[in-house]
Amino acid sequence: MILNFHPTFAVFGSLSLAKSKGALGAIIIGGAPLDAIPYIFLWEGVEGWRDRLPALMVNNDDGNYLKSLCSKKLTVRLVEDVRTEDASSNMVIGELPGMSEEAILVGTHTDSTFTGAVDNAGANAGLIGLAKHYAKTPRGKRGKTMVFAGWTGHEAAFLGANKFAQMHKDILEKTAVFIMLDGFGSKGYYNQADGGVVETGTDEKRGLFISDNLVLIPPVIEAALKYRLLPAAYVSARALPVSDLGPFIRAGIPSIMIIGKPVWYHTVYDTIDKLTPDQLERSLKAHIHVIDELHRIPASKIKEADGKLKDIKEFVTRKPGAAPPSGHFTVTPNPVPEGCPAIFHITVFTAPESVVLEVEWDFGDGATSTSLIGVHAYQKPGTYRATLKVTDSNGNTVTAKRTVRVTRKNR
């Protein structure tokens, strides 16, 4: 997933920092479009939640109004009514025997917030579509056993995926590849600076998350190009194991996730009009393309290739005359106090005939990064010129620049 609005409070550890400074509560401005309020996701996990700083999230308009009140002394009363109870949940697991016991595990989370059309009903439909397709495929053409699994608890700090990995070590032991289905397809949207939203006319941008596996990268890129899952960018699933990839990456299982979510996800606006049957169908066909290849590749070869990627640019195939990519980014905050981290976040990119393979950041002070989301702290006040360089699968490159102002930190 390439995030449309980034949880800066989580990246900066804002709640823990505020509590250590004596704060009694916190109000987070969500950054979602219009009047939507995304819920507070527990990135740190659910353990110890009782000891955390009470917090609530508000939309942009309400947040800006509250900030305007802070120019003078203000008394705020924050009351949270928290009710807890035990609850049970279920996992759904289905198996299609293949020509070997080595397995392709296809997983998805079946829980959602609000209406959850893109996140994650679309992917649930994808799981059912894949199961139906391969149930009709002769066993002789299924080189590996297929396991289809659905779990809840994703929206509660990934409880479901972690519990699945703990409970079903027998499945993990025979898994050659894990494929996570999340954000299966969506219309593309651009979040304007004034808070408005417009459709891009293309699919929502996707992240092709792969565990730096030399064998898995080619079929995923081929599928993305063949079925127009564009714009798309390669992302190391080892460096950024988002969604439910975490427990499988930690278990050393080669992993894939093709994911794209619009600015509406985790809000009341994640409704069925945000995706089309064509987008789901193309995504389904792309996954079938990848899985068909995985059935033909020996499990030992897949496992041996995992984590062996040294330079993603080795997958560049020159295509003279192909349209180049483009990219734009924001810096949060800007200005940024000296010594404090800033997030460098790609907001919009296009790649009409290719997959973005690499992003490179030059922060303008001698520091660089190849992480999809750059985080950097400037050590001296001043004005810096930050540069983003994007390289695609056709070998084209493009750069974008922004001025970053670093202020003297309040003592």
Share of the chain above pLDDT 90, in %: 69
CATH superfamily of 326-407: Immunoglobulins (2.60.40.10)
d(CA 53, CA 1) in angstroms, rounded, equals: 28
Parallel/antiparallel/unpaired status of strands 232-236 and 206-210: parallel
Contact criterion met (CB below 8 Å) for 167 and 94: no
CATH of domain 92-310: 3.40.630.10
Name, in order, each residue with C-beta under 8 angstroms of 322's C-beta and a sequence gap of 6 or more. 353, 354, 394, 396
Contact criterion met (CB below 8 Å) for 40 and 31: no
DSSP three-state, residue 288 = helix
DSSP-derived letter for residue 51 is: G
Q: Which tens digits make up the pLDDT trace of 303-321?
A: 999 999 999 999 999 888 8
Helices (H) and strands (E) in the chain, counts: 10, 19
Tokens of 346: 């790609």
Measured distance between the N- and C-terminal CA atoms of the chain, rounded to whole angstroms? 38
Average pLDDT over residues 388-399: 96
Of 191 and 337, the structure prediction assigns the larger pLDDT to 337
Average pLDDT over residues 381-389: 98
Tokens of 148: 């289809």
pLDDT score recorded for residue 216: 99
Share of the chain above pLDDT 70, in %: 96
Question: Of all helices (H) and strands (E), which one includes residue 178?
Answer: strand 175-181
Tokens of 18: 């505020």
Vertex 115, ends 274 and 146: CA angle to 5°? 85
Contact criterion met (CB below 8 Å) for 336 and 405: yes
Name, in order, each residue with C-beta under 8 angstroms of 314's C-beta and a sequence gap of 6 or more. none
d(CA 104, CA 118) in angstroms, rounded, equals: 24
pLDDT of residue 100 exceeding 50? yes
pLDDT score recorded for residue 6: 62
Backbone angles phi, psi at 247, to 5 degrees: -65, -25
Of 390 and 196, the structure prediction assigns the larger pLDDT to 390
Average pLDDT over residues 28-54: 75
Average pLDDT over residues 205-212: 97
Domain spans in the chain, listed from the N-terminal domain onward: 8-71, 92-310, 326-407
H-state helical runs in 136-182: 159-167, 169-173
Average pLDDT over residues 12-18: 86
Instruction: Tell me the pLDDT of the chain averaged across its residues.
Output: 92
How far are the Cα atoms of 14, 124, 144, 153, 356 from residue 88, in angstroms, in the given order?
32, 20, 32, 11, 42
pLDDT of residue 1 exceeding 50? no
d(CA 141, CA 143) in angstroms, rounded, equals: 6
Whether the bond between 333 and the residue before it is cis, its omega within 30 degrees of 0, is yes
Average pLDDT over residues 340-357: 92
d(CA 172, CA 168) in angstroms, rounded, equals: 7
Tokens of 40: 């507070």
Strands (E) in 289-370, as ranges, are 326-332, 336-337, 341-350, 356-362, 368-369
pLDDT of residue 43 exceeding 70? no
DSSP-derived letter for residue 53 is: P
Backbone angles phi, psi at 250, to 5 degrees: -65, -25
Average pLDDT over residues 3-16: 74
DSSP three-state, residue 296 = helix
Which residues sit opposite 375 in a β-bridge?
343
pLDDT score recorded for residue 372: 87
Reference 330, options 192, 130, 236; nearest CA is: 192
Tokens of 307: 């984590």
pLDDT of residue 5 exceeding 70? no
pLDDT of residue 368 exceeding 60? yes
| Band of residue 193 on the pLDDT scale cut at 50, 70, 90 | low
Q: Which tens digits make up the pLDDT trace of 221-276?
A: 999 999 999 999 999 999 999 999 999 999 999 999 999 999 888 889 999 999 99
Tell me which amino acid residue 171 is.
I
pLDDT of residue 103 exceeding 90? yes
